[in-house]
Amino acid sequence: MAQLNFKGKQFVQNHHLVVPYHELIPQKGKSLTEKVSLHDNLIIHGDNLLALKALLPTYAGKVKCIYIDPPYNTGNEKWIYNDNVNSPMMQEWLKSNTPVDKDDLTRHDKWLCMMTPRLKLLKELLRDDGVIFISIDDNEVHHLRMLMDEIFGEENLLVQQVWLNREGGGSSDSKYFKVKHEYIISYAKNLEYLTIEGLEITNLDRYKLSDDHIKVRGRHYLQKMGMSSIQYSLPLDYQIKAPNGNLIKASDNANGEKACWRWSKDKFEWGILNDFIVIKKDNNNIWTVYTKQYLKVDNENNPINRTQRPTGVIEKFSSTQASKDMKEIFPENTLVFSYPKSTELIQYILKLVNGTDEIILDSFAGSGTTAHATLQLNKKDRGNRKFILVEMEDYADNITAERVRRVIKGYSDKEGTGGTFSYFDLGKPIEIESLLSGKNLPSYNDLARYVYYTATGEEFDDSKVDEKRNFIGESENYEIFLFYKPDLEYLKNTALTLDRAKTLGNINGKRRLVFAPTKYLDQENLDELQIDFAQLPFEIYKLAK
């Protein structure tokens, strides 16, 4: 496979591994729910690299569909490379702290350095049968394809769709051509597990015919039952009697070439009995055999939801309409957001992903289109999809979240979709060394989430936490306990003693994994109580390895 090289690549290849976990601070006043929870619809305000890492303990391997609309790197977007990568060159980029513009000779390198660790974390969050969709234009599409081939594997490329996103004459951004398109690149995490849902048939012109006596099958069209010599099979080359008594062969309609029927003789006779066959003369006055292709049943008369395969070109869902929608949602602010995506476009993408009870993630959330589309689609098909949005800009509350509030409650003459969401701010990094110094100590729940995920690699469920019992959850192999408070005196004076060990409860067959600052128990006691002890903070690293 061809390799993509860019300045800084060696420093960002594994940067996602050293990004610290951060606290996620619930903001009740900005949420729209009775109880703020990480298992609700989510809007997270903060740097998306750090937020994606913070989501891993709860959502690793859980997300079915990712849609992102990253900076296109046109040179006009004023984004700043700000990932704190430990190398002199990267620090020099950080020091400049200037927007990436057309005069920046390293703008493509910076863009690739920004995207690499984020894409690696997004892959970790995807389910095995998950799909990622990325909007992009001509500025970086060639680089993105090669980067995605490296991270996701070129064998997992689904399609590079062309989206005709502009009505009328097209963009004036290009000097030589009127540009009316962007791209949507999609990759599976693992093509072996993937199912792409067919699209609802909206153009029914082909299905013109109807049977008054069997309307339950829906409308139909006629398909010739003969097939060419390329697919010739001797058992399928039999004679059929026409209404006038003539005998018909498939080759009668094949201009003298060898041909046969699509259906076996037994299947044909079943088709005659069950009204799936039409025999009539074609435009050349030749007797021809047709099968009826119904909209609501297959050729075994089984009920189906007939769909059509998605194409590589998307010819609708204009950006113009998306801007009109934003003005309707925010009538008080005519400059609310530039170049929003269409909710219909995101719904189109979500319909490709099989299921109505899935998790949808957008880590470049912008105006919140992905949440809007998810809520609308849930209302249409009574689905229970859940969205996770991450937005780092200051408008995360007054545009991104505010749009979601208005969509849920209703705006203009639009009825509300209903629903809830929980709003979180990205908090301090969870740096385990801080337990030794007592500075910036994480909350109990944040440390529990970090410890649990690091130790087990499994999803952390904060609803299972019982701080009074020091219990933080049960994995496939362990019951897990954490003796901790964000208080230096507690940490200095707390140890796992025999009395504390006996408070863990009855042994239910699983071993107990206990985190505490230290222990006053010998190995014999630990074995008797089926306890594996891990000292804070040092042995977290041992488990991580």
pLDDT for residue 140 = 93
Neighbours of 296 (CB within 10 A): 15
For residues 296 and 35, what is the distance between their CA atoms, to the nearest angstrom? 44
SS3 category, 403: helix
Domain extents for the chain?
9-198+311-427, 212-308, 430-544
Residue 92 has pLDDT above 70, yes or no: yes
CATH homologous superfamily of domain 9-198+311-427?
Vaccinia Virus protein VP39 (3.40.50.150)
- Higher-pLDDT residue of 65, 191: 65
For residues 517 and 117, what is the distance between their CA atoms, to the nearest angstrom? 33
- Alpha carbons within 13 A on the beta-carbon side of 160: 14
Share of the chain above pLDDT 70, in %: 94
Closest alpha carbon to 341 in 314, 368, 360, 363: 368
Residue 399's pLDDT band (cuts 50, 70, 90): very high
Q: Which amino acid is it at 92? A: E
Specify whether the backbone of 407 is left (phi greater than 0), alpha (psi in -120 to 50) or beta.
Answer: alpha
Q: With a threshold of 0.85, does the pTM exceed it? A: no
Residue 123 Cα to chain centre, angstroms: 10
Q: How many helices (H) and strands (E) does the chain have?
A: 17, 25
Specify whether the backbone of 494 is left (phi greater than 0), alpha (psi in -120 to 50) or beta.
Answer: beta
Are 66 and 445 a contacting pair, CB within 8 Å? no
Over range 167-193, report the average pLDDT: 79
Are 425 and 45 a contacting pair, CB within 8 Å? yes
pLDDT tens per residue across span 502-532: 888 877 778 999 999 889 988 888 988 999 9
Longest dimension (CA), the chain: 101
Task: Identify whether 70 is preceded by a cis peptide bond (ω within 30 of 0).
Answer: no
Token digits of residue 324:
């009109």
pLDDT for residue 544 = 41
Q: How far is CA 314 from CA 326, 349, 501, 504, in A?
A: 22, 11, 62, 58
pLDDT for residue 542 = 45
pLDDT tens per residue across span 408-422: 999 988 999 999 999
For residues 347 and 41, what is the distance between their CA atoms, to the nearest angstrom? 17
pLDDT tens per residue across span 35-77: 898 999 999 999 999 999 999 989 999 999 999 999 998 888 7
Which of the 8 DSSP states describes residue 293? E
pLDDT for residue 332 = 86
Q: How far is CA 195 from CA 161, 166, 353, in A?
A: 18, 30, 7
Looking at the DSSP bridge assignments, the partners of residue 160 are: 185
Q: What is the full DSSP assignment across 5-30?
A: --TTHHHHTTHHHHSPPEEEEE-GGG
For residues 59 and 461, what is the distance between their CA atoms, to the nearest angstrom? 10
pLDDT tens per residue across span 213-243: 788 888 899 999 988 767 788 899 999 999 9
pLDDT for residue 541 = 42
Token digits of residue 26:
């619930």
pLDDT tens per residue across span 241-299: 999 999 998 888 777 778 899 999 999 999 999 999 999 998 888 899 999 999 888 88
Element spanning 108, H or E: helix 107-125
